[in-house]
């Protein structure tokens, strides 16, 4: 690309960014620096694209929207006003042991209640579409971290739980957990009855973009409440894989899911929600879940 053409492209890019509030400086930097001709400038070799990128970045630095706003308080305090914390456990079960695993976990969740740990099972699922032979359990700790700490202490020291872990661990290929907080705009998860399927959509976001994500979805959530779709829970990690978000949706079946998602695109505003949030995503994953017989959410 010759110099005059490149200059027009970069100036146009900067103008588009200012008008539409998009962040293109890093994109220009990555794409142009490796392809632009090197020109002589005051006896030193300096990339034309470099000077243009510096100009664009100076505009962003002086603009109100900037790359990210400087925050005066933590994301968790801004995005979640509830005292409860949640734990999601991911257990990869050996295929031959899944039935026995579920039997033992059913007894385990009853034991958690009997021992007065303060942990409440919100939902328990097996993965139907996604990572096969995976079980996912969502726990709620009403009262926050003090209750979680108490439950952990009992779980680690009580002999009944020690025996359970000894038996359970032989049936697992791997396991991990996350501690999460609920978005303040998302409905609280509640027990559900009937025959349903659930989709857990998991997103790994760019660091620093959680507030922007929340602002978009606080508006976008209203486009996804038709055709018997249920927004079960919206959680973001506080410990574990950071900048991870889980949205869980309930449907009657896969056909209902298909129809509901297509209906959202007919509503003005949903396309903007997608357009603004997709650039924030580094990785995303979808799982279709089936409730276990003992899950409060059915």
Cα-atom radius of gyration of the chain, to the nearest Å?
A: 24
Single out the residue of 144, 145, 127 nearest to residue 287, CA to CA: 127
User: Can you tell me which residue has the tokens 């978009």?
Assistant: 216
Q: Is the pLDDT of residue 291 over 50?
A: yes
| Rounded distance between C-alpha atoms, residue 136 and residue 289, angstroms | 9
Number of other residues whose CB lies within 10 A of the CB of residue 108: 19
Do 183 and 221 contact (CB within 8 A), yes or no? no
The pLDDT score that the predictor gives to residue 75 is 63
The pLDDT score that the predictor gives to residue 74 is 64
Which residues, including other chains, have CB under 8 Å from residue 9's CB and lie 6 or more apart? 1
> What number of residues does the chain have?
298
Is residue 187 classed exposed, middle or buried when 0-12, 13-18 and 19+ CB atoms within 10 A define those classes?
middle
Res 70 pLDDT > 80: no
The Cα–Cα gap between 141 and 47 comes to 56
List the Cα angle 25/18/48 in 5-degree steps.
40
**Burial class of 291 by CB neighbour count within 10 A (0 to 12, 13 to 18, 19+):** buried
Q: Confidence band (pLDDT; 50, 70, 90) for 139?
A: very high
Q: Please provide the CATH number assigned to the domain covering 77-291.
A: 3.30.70.100
Residue 217 has pLDDT above 50, yes or no: yes
The mean of the pLDDT values for the chain is 81
For residue 237, count other CB atoms closer than 10 A to its CB: 20
What is the three-state SS of 186-224? Answer: CCCCCCECCCCEEEEEEEEECCCCHHHHHHHHHHHHHHH
Ranges of each domain in the chain: 3-62, 77-291
Report the C-alpha dihedral over residues 274, 278, 279, 284, rounded to 10 degrees.
Answer: 170
pLDDT, position 47:
55
| Alpha carbon distance 178, 236 (integer Å) | 9
Lowest-confidence segment of 3-7, 117-121, 182-186, 272-276 by average pLDDT: 3-7
Q: What is the pLDDT of residues 88-138, one digit of tens each?
A: 999 999 999 999 999 999 999 999 999 999 999 999 999 999 999 999 999
d(CA 246, CA 88): 10
Q: Is residue 154 exposed (0-12), middle (13-18) or buried (19+ Cβ within 10 Å)?
A: middle
Asked if 198 and 288 touch (Cβ cutoff 8 Å), the reply is: yes
d(CA 96, CA 33): 54
Output the CA torsion sign for 229, 90, 100, 132.
positive
């Amino acid at each position: 690309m010759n110099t005059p053409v490149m200059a027009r492209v970069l100036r146009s890019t900067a103008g588009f960014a200012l008008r539409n509030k998009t962040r293109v400086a890093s994109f220009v930097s990555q794409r142009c620096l490796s392809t632009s001709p090197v020109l002589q400038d005051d006896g030193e070799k300096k990339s034309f694209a470099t000077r243009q990128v510096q100009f664009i970045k100076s505009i962003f630095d002086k603009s109100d929207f900037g790359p990210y706003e400087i925050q005066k308080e933590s994301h968790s305090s801004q995005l979640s006003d509830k005292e409860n914390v949640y734990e999601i456990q991911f257990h990869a079960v050996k295929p031959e042991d899944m039935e026995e695993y579920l039997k033992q976990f059913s007894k385990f969740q009853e034991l958690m209640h009997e021992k007065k740990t303060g942990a409440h099972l919100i939902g328990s699922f097996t993965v139907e579409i996604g990572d096969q032979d995976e079980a996912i359990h969502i726990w709620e700790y009403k009262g926050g971290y003090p209750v979680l700490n108490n439950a952990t202490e009992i779980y680690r020291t009580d002999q009944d739980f020690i025996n359970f872990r000894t038996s359970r661990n032989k049936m697992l290929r791997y396991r991990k957990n996350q501690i999460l907080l609920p978005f303040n705009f998302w409905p609280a998860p509640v027990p559900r009855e009937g025959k349903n399927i659930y989709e857990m959509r998991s997103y790994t976001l760019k660091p620093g973009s959680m507030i922007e994500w929340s602002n978009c979805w606080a508006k976008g959530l209203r486009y996804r409440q038709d055709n018997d779709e249920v927004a079960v829970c919206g959680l973001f990690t506080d410990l574990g894989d950071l900048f991870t978000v889980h949205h869980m949706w309930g449907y009657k079946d896969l056909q209902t899911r298909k129809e509901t998602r297509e209906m959202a695109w007919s509503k003005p505003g949903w396309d903007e929600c997608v357009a603004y949030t997709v650039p924030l995503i580094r990785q995303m994953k979808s799982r279709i879940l089936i409730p276990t017989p003992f899950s409060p959410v059915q």
